[in-house]
Chains A and B, each alone.
Chain A
């Protein structure tokens, strides 16, 4: 049962992550390779406040969400004007900075040791009951986020974002301040990442810096590409396929002993890498594809 719970919880959390990234990348065309930074900020903020300062859990989650959003605002203001490719690398650098901060501010984050003793909601019900209750809460918040993103996607704002993605200059020519919309999208997406991070911290009950490596960003990208970039339900499907594969191969490890544990986990990531390449080459629109609105081939720079 624990295993099923874990798959569902991680699937939901990655759904949320993919939703936030989809808003940035799929709708608006912002390539954020430092996405994990905002997950880490949400997770650590909530963990530090609830464990160290005995804040109520909801306040911790709210603070984690808010701080992730707040951190992305100056970053967006400073860097979103850069070309998309530059922005990608600068955000990757930002996530390294956040990770360094977490590793080195030991009095705040306990450095590499990490923070233990983070509680699940309704922990007083005992581990048997609090796990499913936590799952229901995570599911409700994921549904809420999905509804929010759905709303944005179907609103005039969503159409504007797609216009920015399709042709930034044309949107500007129509009198839209594309920079401030991009910053807005970055902030909302980061808030979603922060909330997902806080939920993650309270689900696994122990966080350390190594859980917030760039692999989290890449996994989210994979989930998004698997499900189909820019579609509304793609992230949900992509996240659960990815988690089922990741967790499934971990379970398999307990029964198959041909390879060492190290080799099995290496093989897992080799398969992910291969799948990523094959998907991009053969199904760039994801398993589900994009039903309509096939993106016209954009004239690209030197090939």
Chain B
């Protein structure tokens, strides 16, 4: 029983790590650009497909292929911002929300158009599970966890400790005051989009390596990542990440008692409960005027 419990806990943390990177990105976009970004999933998918093409068709070494995937997702994110979202700044939130659905549809079906809807896999050597006491862990999951924690710490450091982070917080709190203090909101937005696209891209590539690459892989994770971010408090990127880990744990442990097919349901049910008590999420800030 203990072994099963531990195994589920480990799986839950891994699931949390997969959701943490996009959840942090969603929270950053929410805080700085002010809307729920529904096309975030396609950033993940695009990175996975780009890395797959680089590794599979061009036979680039894996690190280069991963780098290529990250560059492509960064370009896609910046492209979305410059091509669409920037022109909608100052409009009601709903406009941006719906525009991001349009972007998501365009990119998701663009991928289906170019690569078909079949699953693809990275050309990776076969893995062997590592036995740590009673628990079996896949090597890729260890990489995934390491990447998630590195990203979490990196974003923490960037947000709290660097000039760029201070500017980001300044722009998100009060754009006009930030502009008066000689901070360029345009540059901050650009930096933010590069950052969140790389985060999303990294999780997309890792997820593709762990499971399969498919046109809807990002979208499928996105709903959960959104739920996690809202659970933890979407105005706070670290709250969102913690929300992701908690939700991963609860869904994996929950299936010990609830049928597996309802795993996603547990998460959404949990969120509704939490929002009843804490309408801004577990670590959310008070309602901003």
Contacts and interface: CB of A to CB of B under 8 A. Distances in A.
Given A100-B262, A303-B89, A273 B117 contact: no
B279 A97 contact: no
B145 to A, nearest CB: 26
A224 to B, nearest CB: 10
Chain A interface residue bracket vs B: 35 or more
Given A78-B276, A262-B116, A300-B34, A97 B105 contact: no
Interface in B90-127: 90-95, 97-99, 101-110, 112-113, 116-117
Contacts of A301: 34, 93, 288
A298 B92 contact: yes
B134 to A, nearest CB: 31
A276 B36 contact: no
A136 interface: no
Interface string B246-286: 00000000000001011011001101100110010000000
Interface stretch (A11-19, A204-212, A263-271): A263-271
Contacts of B262: 100, 104
Contacts, number: 139
A263 B113 contact: yes
Contact of B103 (A83, A86, A273, A275): A273
Interface string A88-104: 11101110110011011
Interface in A82-122: 82-86, 88-90, 92-94, 96-97, 100-101, 103-104
B171 A273 contact: no
Given A300-B93, A303-B90, A96 B36 contact: no
A277 interface: yes
A283 to B, nearest CB: 11
Contact of A31 (B94, B106, B109): B94
A213 B25 CA distance: 25
A277 B117 CA distance: 24
B173 interface: yes
B56 interface: no
Interface residues of B, number: 58
Contacts of A284: 91, 95
Interface in A265-291: 266-270, 272-277, 280-281, 284
A302 B173 contact: yes
Nearest to B276: A78
B287 interface: yes
Given A266-B113, A267-B109, A303-B175, A277 B103 contact: yes
A89 B223 CA distance: 8
Nearest to B287: A83
B-side interface mostly = helix
Contacts of B20: none
A97 B226 contact: no
B259 A104 contact: yes
Contacts of A103: 261
A218 interface: yes
A89 B259 contact: no
Contacts of A269: 105, 108-109
B271 A90 contact: yes
A81 B272 CA distance: 12
Interface in B214-270: 223, 226-227, 230, 259, 261-262, 264-265, 268-269
Q: Ordered nearest first, which 6 A-B pairs have the shortest CB separation?
A: A273-B105, A276-B102, A273-B106, A303-B89, A93-B268, A277-B102
Interface of A: 25, 31, 78-79, 81-86, 88-90, 92-94, 96-97, 100-101, 103-104, 218, 221, 225, 262-263, 266-270, 272-277, 280-281, 284, 297-298, 300-303
Given A273-B104, A301-B34, A303-B185, 12 more contacts: A85-B93, A89-B230, A90-B275, A94-B268, A96-B265, A100-B265, A273-B106, A276-B99, A277-B103, A300-B90, A302-B32, A302-B173
